Each structure stands twice: as C-alpha cells, then as structure tokens.
Amino acid sequence: MYADDDRTERYLSVVEVGPDFDALLAGEREFHVHSVFARALNLTDGRTFLTMLPLGRGCGASYATLALAEGEAFFRWDLVPGLEARMLPGKKVRLGPRVMVDFSRAIPWESPLRAIRAVPAVEKEDMQALRQALIDRPVASPFQGVLEGRKPELGAILDRMKACVLLRDGPELERAIAAVLGLGPGLTPSGDDLILGLCMARAVVRTVEGRSRGLWEASVSRQLGNTHALSAFFIERALEGRSHEVVERALACLLACGSAQTKVAVERLLGVGATSGFDIGLGLYLALEWQGRYDWCSRA
C-alpha cells in the first residue's frame, strides 16, 4: 500500500457518535485537541472530554468512532494538542490544516445498558467465569493477584472500601479511595480504572432501583481533584452510569443473566489497553460480588 501523501487532506467519516458530542456539533462550547495517540484522539473544552476512536474500538456517550483502516494513525495528520476543533457547515469539524471530520452520516450511539430494567442476581456461572478470566489474565496491573490473595495490602484497602460503605464510615472510606486513586502509571492509572468499575456497577444498580447518589459517590467525587483531568472525567461519567461501550456491554451481559454473549463481552473488556480492561473488570466483579453478598451497591 502506498503511503498517504504528506500534503493531502484527510477526510474522516464518523460512523457512530455519542450524545455528548452534541455540545461540539451545536457549537455551544469551544473544544480543542487535548491529547493524540496512534488510535485515539481526545478533545476537551476544559470541563468535558470527547474521544474519537477507530471503528471496532467501541463507542459510548462521550465517544465517536471513525471509519479508519487498521494501519491508520492520528499521528500522521499533524494533529497536536491545542489545535482548535472548528465547526463547519454540514456537521463537519476541522481539526488543524489537514483533517476534516464528517459527522453528517453518523449513527447515534445507543447504550447496551438501555435494556436493563431490573437487577437480578448475577448468575453464579457468569461471576465464576469473570473471576477466572481475571485470574488468568497476565497483566502488569498492581491489582493482579488481589483475587488470589497475593497482594494483602491492596486486598486490605479494597476490604476497607467494602466495609466502610456498609458501616457508613465516610472519613475512612475517603482515605481508602485516596489510597487507590492515582495508583499506577498513565493518563488513566490502574487505581482509577478500578474505581471506575466500582462506580459503574453501583450507578447502574442504583438507577434501576431508583436510588440517588450515596456516601460512596460523594466520597469519590471529593477525591477526583487528585487525579488526571481525563481520568477524573471518565470516573464522573461512571458515577452517572455511563462509560465506554465495551464496559457497558460487559456489564449489560452480566446483568442480563446468562447471556450467551457474556464470555465474548468480558474477554473484549479485559483486552482493553495494557491494564485498563483488567482493572475496570476487577471493579465490576468486586461491586457485583459485594452486591450479591451484602447489597453493597444499594447501600450508603
């Protein structure tokens, strides 16, 4: 295949788009490029983040997927942090001198969680399969081995998170959250991803049960200033029960009880990033496990 001509403009077609992109497309707020990766591009207006991913990487409320070939990378088109995202007529967005993103034919994204109307007890087989998949996954997460009892210090902190919610111990809960938040390298550290998984499961259960935010949610919110802005945004969205499609699909399959797609959805989640999928999956597992035993998601 011949290389993309350095001078050419790249016209990118959006396939699916989440509702959070309305703020950009309506021209209500000014967005600019926050960070550029080979296969991901983040925009921000200083408060919220919008992420563009290639088709096949999944969508979400704050995500859009683009029709890109496997070898194409955002790096190649002179996209750098700080570039203004300029709205043009016809639902198009210009990013720098070489990239035009066309939203005009995009399909509105729908959450897989929209079908969840009640929270049944998650099937034992599904929980066992998730646990085994987490144990079998060779990742460099600081939480690897927690389920097998090989990380007693971290295991103790997670136990404190569980217990503090049940005992309504706010100060100790915040200390436990603070100990985990920011743990690990990268823009979304392992500790943040684990918290995100816990928040997602709680939010979905509580929404179905008609419950408002509780002690856990308030405690997490107060700690978000201690991590990266992008990661804090993802956790904030998780507190509302919104995340990337891969997370939502795995959770939807687990809650749909005995879904034939659960194994595929869990495998896909655990394959996200170097450690993110594992850490989020562990958060979902712990929240659902504690919910099954102690009504943890419904409490406090």
Partner 1 sequence: MFTRLVVKANTYHDSVVLMSLTREIQRLAGIREAQVGMATDLNKEGVRKIGFSGPEVEGATPNDLVIALVGESEEAVDEAEKLIYLKLESKARAQTAQGETLYNSLAEAPIQEAGIAAISVPGAYAAREARNALKRGLHVFLFSDNVPLEDELALKQLGQREGLLVMGPDCGTAVIGGLGLGFANKVKRGCIGIVAASGTGLQQVLVIIDRLGEGVTEAIGTGGRDLRKEVGGITTLMGLELLERDERTMVKMVISKPPDADVREKVLSLLEQGSKPAVVCFMGEAGGKDTEKVRFAGNLEEAAVMACSLAGGRARQRLYSGEEMEVVAREAVDGEPVTGHLRGLYGGGTLCEETLCILGRAGLEVYSNVAWKPECLLADPEESRAHTCIDMGDDYFTRGRPHPMLEPGLRVPRYLAEAREPDVGILLFDVVLGYGCHPDPAGVMAEAVREAGNIARRGGRKLVQIAVLVGASGDPQSLGQQEKVLRDAGAVVLSSNYAAAELVARILRA
Residues forming the site for partner 1 (CB under 8 A):
1-4, 6-7, 11-16, 54-56, 66-72, 86, 88-90, 94, 97, 102, 104-107, 261
Of 69 and 118, which CB lies nearer to partner 1 in the complex structure? 69
Residue 103's alpha-carbon distances to 16, 25, 57, in angstroms, are 9, 8, 18
Cβ at position 200, least distance to partner 1 in Å? 21
- At what angle are helices 229-239 and 190-209 packed, to 10 degrees? 20
Cβ at position 164, least distance to partner 1 in Å? 39
For 231, phi then psi, to 5°, come to: -65, -40
Of 86 and 213, which CB lies nearer to partner 1 in the complex structure? 86
> Distance between CA 240 and CA 20 in Å, rounded?
13
Cβ at position 259, least distance to partner 1 in Å? 10
Cβ at position 98, least distance to partner 1 in Å? 9
For 39, phi then psi, to 5°, come to: -125, 25
> Distance between CA 175 and CA 161 in Å, rounded?
9
Of 4 and 159, which CB lies nearer to partner 1 in the complex structure? 4
Cβ at position 56, least distance to partner 1 in Å? 5
Of 94 and 137, which CB lies nearer to partner 1 in the complex structure? 94
C-beta separation of 200 from 247 below 8 A? yes
Cβ at position 2, least distance to partner 1 in Å? 4
Of 9 and 209, which CB lies nearer to partner 1 in the complex structure? 9
Of 3 and 118, which CB lies nearer to partner 1 in the complex structure? 3
Per the listing, tokens 């404190």 go with 160
For 137, phi then psi, to 5°, come to: -80, 115
Cβ at position 156, least distance to partner 1 in Å? 40
Q: At CA 241, angle to CA 264 and CA 261, rounded to 5?
A: 15
> Distance between CA 152 and CA 182 in Å, rounded?
19
Instruction: Provide the 10 A C-beta neighbour count for residue 156.
Output: 11
Of 104 and 132, which CB lies nearer to partner 1 in the complex structure? 104
For 242, phi then psi, to 5°, come to: -125, 135
- At what angle are helices 124-136 and 262-270 packed, to 10 degrees? 30
Cβ at position 87, least distance to partner 1 in Å? 9
Instruction: Provide the 10 A C-beta neighbour count for residue 106.
Output: 21
Of 89 and 149, which CB lies nearer to partner 1 in the complex structure? 89
> Distance between CA 193 and CA 227 in Å, rounded?
11
